[in-house]
Amino acid sequence: MTAVADVRESDLQEYFDATIAHDRRIEPRDWMPEAYRKTLVRQIAQHAHSEIIGMQPEGDWLLAAPSLRRKAILLAKVQDEAGHGMYLYAAAETLGADRADLTDKLIERKQKYSSIFNYPTLTYADVGVIGWLVDGAAICNQVPLCRSSYGPYARAMIRVCKEESFHQRQGFELLMTMMRGTEGQQAMVQDAVDRWWWPSLMMFGPPDDDSPNSAQSMAWGIKRHSNDELRQRYVDMTVPQAAVLGVQLPDPELALDESTRRYRFGPIDWSEFKQVVSGHGPCNDERITRRRAARDDNAWVLEAATAYAAKHSA
Amino acid sequence: MNDTETVYDALDQAHGGEGQWAFGTGFDDPLAGVDTTVPDGVDAADLGAYCLMLGDDALVLSQRLTEWATRSPELEEEVAVANCALDLLGQARLLLGRAGTCGVLGRSRSLATESIPDEDALAYFRAPDEFRNHVLVEVDGGDFAQTMVRLLIASAYRLAVFTRLRDSRDPVLSAIAAKGVHELTYHRDYAARWVLRLGDGTAESHRRAAVAVDALWPLLADLFTATEVETRLTGAGVAVDPGGFEVEVREVLGTVLTRATLDAPEWPVARPSPGRAGSHTPELAPLLAELQGLAREHPAATW
């Protein structure tokens, strides 16, 4: 490398650092450190994969939704998630990634998705609880990302967050309706809360002292708050909602700390989290198998579209 | 933007107090504001029966399209197919609701508890032989070629019906048709674009598209013979006689197939629709079992 190029690169780095320091956005045309680009591609792809895999647990209830209104709400929601996946893959493509390649990496298990989607949806109450807790946790994670330093990601997140908050309200409304319903429905809701509460806390990722990439992501303005800080915010927000709903959160240690006005909660079973993240959750294989089948069984459709476009582009 | 602000704060500010908890599901009474009085000289039982025919076509095809969710060839198709399914589900809800206001509920109303709306009583508490859809929409979805050829036929047919129903003397049918025409125009064009790509794509896609056309074409025989209900309602200015647009649909389908380099099989001779009389293939019962199972397991529940 020549001395001239060295100088130029250091200038670029300086400009990049100043942009971050002034809380301005990095745009696709701007120079960025390779590690920043890689971190973003990994994070955005993981987020996009989560949207697409996340369609499956709720999608499993589409054909059996218990009223036509609930079916319409759920179908619109699952469709929105496909849309979120599309914007996010498009944001990753502004960094030079390719959607088909990212999908291949997902299917080959070289990239991850949120571990929460490896749990099964056993009853229709799970649809409501996913809306309330899982989308609620996702919103806590994602609202700060609307200020992420990378422009296309931040802008995609604004739209995603608006739609997520709509889904979260719909989930809560389903649970409210079920809690006003039969005893069987109330029991279904409590059972679903019991199963999803701890996994929802794990959505914020490992504790701060065990989260090796967090500091760099925060320095780059990709991430705005630590995992533990966001988790605490989620708990503080959710406990009063559980009271309104009339369900018990399955944590005997959950209590308001009068001095901080924040809720203390019991220890999270991180061994379960590691088990699921490493591919051994209840539904990991099923989720990837279905995604693979959607790609492979329909490969002939995309080949046809490509061939048709080639014939008719002349 | 202040990131300490949560969506709850935003909701609270917008709606105050309790409003935040159950705000915003956004589905109003679909027939609000439309005069639901049955027009003079129209038999309510006929009108309700007709709404069931059109509503069941939409409901059953919507369910078949929904089977593609999370299994589509691309994300764009995931969104587009769900969009068609949602439109049809919306049409089904309006039409079943109209059948309810006409009093055509039969046994379903006594099987479903009071809290269950008419649209759900009809969708969830009828037996297969009480459904009035054409067989075309109930047969197994098959591969993507079969799905797109079926969507092309079904939407070309339904668009011909709805275009004419905009002038129906029944204000509810007329309103449903006016909204549906835009939706169905999109469905037909979406399906036609795929039939072109598949027919004129690769050898494999051409083969699959040809198989789909051969399998589905005979079911066109059911679509163009008016039932007695349709004949009476056509006389009353409420419904349309499907025999009146057989040529039009045939031309639309023929045009697409020719451009897709697919051979159109011989046009079948029209016969009375078995589906409209409640006679269905064995494929309808499992579709309905899946659709209805959970609701029937909890007949006293409100969702």
Query: Does residue B9 lie in a domain region?
Result: no
- Say what percent of chain B tops pLDDT 90: 83
A113 touches chain B (CB under 8 A): no
The pLDDT score that the predictor gives to residue B2 is 44
- Say what percent of chain A tops pLDDT 70: 97
Q: Looking at A138-147, B225-234, B243-252, B282-291, which range is the least confident one?
A: A138-147
Length of chain A in residues, anyone? 314
Residue A100: closest CA among chain B residues belongs to which residue? Answer: B74
Q: Which candidate, A81, A76, A213, places its Cα nearest to that of B75?
A: A81
A168 touches chain B (CB under 8 A): yes
Determine whether the interchain pair A177/B5 forms a contact, defined as Cβ–Cβ distance below 8 Å. no
Q: Which of B75, B89, B94, B140 to mutate to test the interface with A (most CBs of A within 10 A)?
A: B75
Determine whether the interchain pair B295/A89 forms a contact, defined as Cβ–Cβ distance below 8 Å. no
> Residue A289: how many CB atoms within 10 A of its CB?
12
Which residues in chain B touch residue A64, judged by CB atoms under 8 angstroms apart?
Answer: 290-291, 293-294
The pLDDT score that the predictor gives to residue B7 is 41
A187 touches chain B (CB under 8 A): no
**To 5 degrees, how large is the angle CA A30–CA A32–CA A37?**
115
Q: Which of A50, A58, A67 to mutate to test the interface with B (most CBs of B within 10 A)?
A: A67
Query: Does residue B18 lie in a domain region?
Result: no
Residue span of the structural domain in which B170 resides = 37-297
B182 touches chain A (CB under 8 A): no
A215 has a pLDDT exceeding 90: no
Residue A256, strand partner residues: A263
B13 has a pLDDT exceeding 70: no
B267 has a pLDDT exceeding 90: yes
Query: Does residue B86 lie in a domain region?
Result: yes
**Complex ipTM:** 0.94
A133 touches chain B (CB under 8 A): no
Which residues in chain A touch residue B117, judged by CB atoms under 8 angstroms apart?
Answer: 67
Which residues in chain B touch residue A65, judged by CB atoms under 8 angstroms apart?
Answer: 294
Average pLDDT of the residues in B137-146: 96
Within chain A, residue ranges assigned H as helices are 3-21, 34-53, 55-59, 68-93, 99-107, 125-129, 135-142, 151-179, 183-202, 214-219, 227-245, 270-275, 284-297, 299-312
B303 touches chain A (CB under 8 A): yes
Determine whether the interchain pair A75/B69 forms a contact, defined as Cβ–Cβ distance below 8 Å. yes
Q: Which candidate, B60, B122, B96, places its Cα nearest to that of B275?
A: B60
Q: How far is B70 from chain A (nearest CA, A)?
A: 6
Q: What is the CATH number of the domain that holds B215?
A: 1.20.1260.10
At A309, list the tokens.
């476009």
**To 5 degrees, how large is the angle CA B289–CA A196–CA A186?**
60
Give B 254-283 residues with CB within 8 A of chain A: none
Contact A71, A65 (CB under 8 A): yes
Tens-place pLDDT, residues A234-263: 999 999 999 999 999 999 999 999 999 999
Query: Does residue B21 lie in a domain region?
Result: no
- Cα B267 from chain centroid (whole Å): 24
Which DSSP helix (H) or strand (E) runs through B180? helix B171-199
From start to end of chain B, where are the E strands? Answer: none
Q: Phi/psi at B210 (nearest 5 deg)?
A: -65, -40
Q: How far is A75 from chain B (nearest CA, A)?
A: 7
Q: For residue B211, count CB atoms less than 10 angstroms from its CB and return exposed for 0-12, middle for 13-18, buried for 19 or more.
A: middle
Residue A62: closest CA among chain B residues belongs to which residue? Answer: B66
Give B 206-225 residues with CB within 8 A of chain A: 208
Average pLDDT of the residues in A138-161: 92
The pLDDT score that the predictor gives to residue A6 is 61
Which residues in chain A touch residue B92, judged by CB atoms under 8 angstroms apart?
Answer: 68
Nearest-angstrom CA–CA distance, A293 and B28: 38
Contact A133, A193 (CB under 8 A): yes
Determine whether the interchain pair A68/B298 forms a contact, defined as Cβ–Cβ distance below 8 Å. no
Task: State the greatest distance between any 2 C-alpha atoms of chain A, in Å, as a whole number.
Answer: 76
Nearest-angstrom CA–CA distance, B197 and B153: 16
What Cα–Cα distance (Å) separates residue B278 from each residue in B57, B122, B127, B285? 12, 14, 10, 12
DSSP tag of A255: E
Tens-place pLDDT, residues B150-199: 999 999 999 999 999 999 999 999 999 999 999 999 999 999 999 999 99
pLDDT band at B114 (very low <50, low <70, confident <90, very high): confident
Q: Looking at A13-17, A133-137, B9-13, which range is the least confident one?
A: B9-13
Which residues in chain A touch residue B197, judged by CB atoms under 8 angstroms apart?
Answer: 304-305, 308-309
Q: Which of A55, A61, A67, A68 to mutate to test the interface with B (most CBs of B within 10 A)?
A: A68
B3 has a pLDDT exceeding 90: no
| Counted domains in chain B | 1
Average pLDDT of the residues in A166-172: 93
B289 touches chain A (CB under 8 A): no
Contact B50, B58 (CB under 8 A): no
Q: Which candidate, A187, A188, A201, A268, places its Cα nearest to that of A236?
A: A201
Query: Does residue B13 lie in a domain region?
Result: no
Query: Does residue B72 lie in a domain region?
Result: yes
Query: Does residue B11 lie in a domain region?
Result: no
Nearest-angstrom CA–CA distance, A83 and A163: 10
Helix axes B228-235, B44-66, angle to 10 degrees: 120
Determine whether the interchain pair A307/B205 forms a contact, defined as Cβ–Cβ distance below 8 Å. yes
3-state secondary structure string across A146-162: HHCCEHHHHHHHHHHHH
Q: What is the pTM of this model?
A: 0.93
Determine whether the interchain pair B89/A166 forms a contact, defined as Cβ–Cβ distance below 8 Å. no
Residue B61: closest CA among chain A residues belongs to which residue? Answer: A63
A1 has a pLDDT exceeding 60: no
Which DSSP helix (H) or strand (E) runs through B175? helix B171-199
Q: Which candidate, A208, A211, A257, places its Cα nearest to that of A231?
A: A208
The pLDDT score that the predictor gives to residue A223 is 84
Query: Does residue B26 lie in a domain region?
Result: no
A52 touches chain B (CB under 8 A): yes
The mean pLDDT of chain B is: 91
Which residues in chain A touch residue B8, judged by CB atoms under 8 angstroms apart?
Answer: 237
Determine whether the interchain pair A75/B85 forms a contact, defined as Cβ–Cβ distance below 8 Å. yes
